[in-house]
Amino acid sequence: MRRKVPSTTVLMGFEAAARHVSFTEAAEELSLTQSAICRQIASLEEFLGVKLFRRGRQGVRLTEAGHNYHRLVAQRLNEIERDTLSVMGNHGTENALELAVVPTFGTRWLIPRLRRFKALHPNITVNMTNKTRPFLFSDTPFDAAIYFGDGEWSGTETTVFMRERPVPVCSPDLIGPKTTLAYEEILDYPLLQQTTRPYAWRHWFRSLDMRVERDMSGQRYELFTMLAEAAAHGMGIALIPPFLIERELEAGQLIVPVSHSFQSQGGYHFVLPDHRRDNEAVCLFRDWVLSEGEPE
């Protein structure tokens, strides 16, 4: 059955016109005439049976349907471009691994170690994309994932290889001239929160047998890099695993005012989807990652 899909040429013309909100600028970007872009948009609107632009004396503007369709089309075109570049770069081989990884962990822990994996397996290419939440492997091009959580992920085999042991960190200027704090003095300062670790401060306080009403209050940041940056700029005290902020600690941008820590309930898991269990490159990478992690 023939798919009901517009041509990629027409979709690219629409995406450019919607992004610029201008047929003229879209034509310049794609090295076409303005009339060619107009024809493409008209044919797409006829195909869809929906108006995507409103025309006026002062130019064009997107309809609500146009806004929504542009968001979807831009995402799909980006995916097609990424997949095309992947095939071109790997010449269609089976030794390219598409990995989804939580951002700060990928940047601060995994990438600095990848040279060791490359030395062992020079023919395997590891491509990484940021993902902070679980997803359906059937809807993505990913061969495996590294994520932080409880290991519950349907249709996969998950193996924990590292835990977090976060410590309070802050700018030295925030508590200066002091360099350390007593446990209870933490409460004199704003607590910075990590979106995906909403109970981190509660667990930290309770590991000290403390009950604090505002342990979940404070500005929230999704990534540890954001949390570290906020702490370094004196916005409060954050709970961060030291291995993710080695640079900031060495440079003195962040200090540890209280050395107490606790082991996280969740952990970093290597997630292997069921349909990839027999893929040699993926399994070699998994075994290497597990060997690099901390022993349980």
Q: What percentage of residues in the chain have a pLDDT greater than 70?
A: 96
Task: Give me 21's structure tokens.
Answer: 């909100």
169: three-class secondary structure by DSSP = strand
Instruction: Quote the pLDDT of residue 14.
Output: 95
DSSP track, 221-278: ESSHHHHHHHHHTTS-EEEE-GGG-HHHHHHTSSB-S-------SSEEEEEEEGGGTT
Q: What digits encode the pLDDT tens for the residues 56-85? A: 888 899 999 999 999 999 999 988 887 777
Q: What digits encode the pLDDT tens for the residues 200-247? A: 999 999 999 999 999 999 999 999 999 999 999 999 999 999 999 999
| Geometric angle at alpha carbon 37, from 36 and 38, rounded to 5° | 90
Query: 69 or 134: whose pLDDT is higher?
Result: 69
d(CA 252, CA 237): 15
d(CA 274, CA 111): 25
Task: Give me 101's structure tokens.
Answer: 């990884």
Q: What digits encode the pLDDT tens for the residues 37-49? A: 999 999 999 999 9
d(CA 47, CA 16): 18
* Dihedral Cα 224, 229, 233, 239, nearest 10 deg: 20
d(CA 29, CA 25): 6
Instruction: Quote the pLDDT of residue 190.
Output: 97
Instruction: Quote the pLDDT of residue 263.
Output: 92
Q: Is the pLDDT of residue 89 over 70?
A: no
* Helices 8-20 and 23-30: angle between axes, nearest 10 degrees: 130
* Non-local CB neighbours of 115 within 8 Å, separated by 6+ positions: none
Q: Report which secondary-structure segment, H or E, holds 168.
A: strand 167-169
Residue type, 178: K
Instruction: Quote the pLDDT of residue 56.
Output: 86
As beta bridge partners, residue 100 has 129, 145
d(CA 119, CA 92): 22
* Dihedral Cα 175, 180, 181, 182, nearest 10 deg: -170
Name the CA radius of gyration of the chain, rounded: 25
| Geometric angle at alpha carbon 51, from 49 and 57, rounded to 5° | 150
Quick one: which of 135, 154, 115 has its CA closest to 288?
115
d(CA 127, CA 215): 38
Q: Which long-range contacts (CB under 8 A, 24 or more apart) does 72-77 make?
A: 73/11, 73/14, 73/15, 73/18, 74/15, 74/18, 74/19, 76/11, 77/8, 77/11, 77/12, 77/15
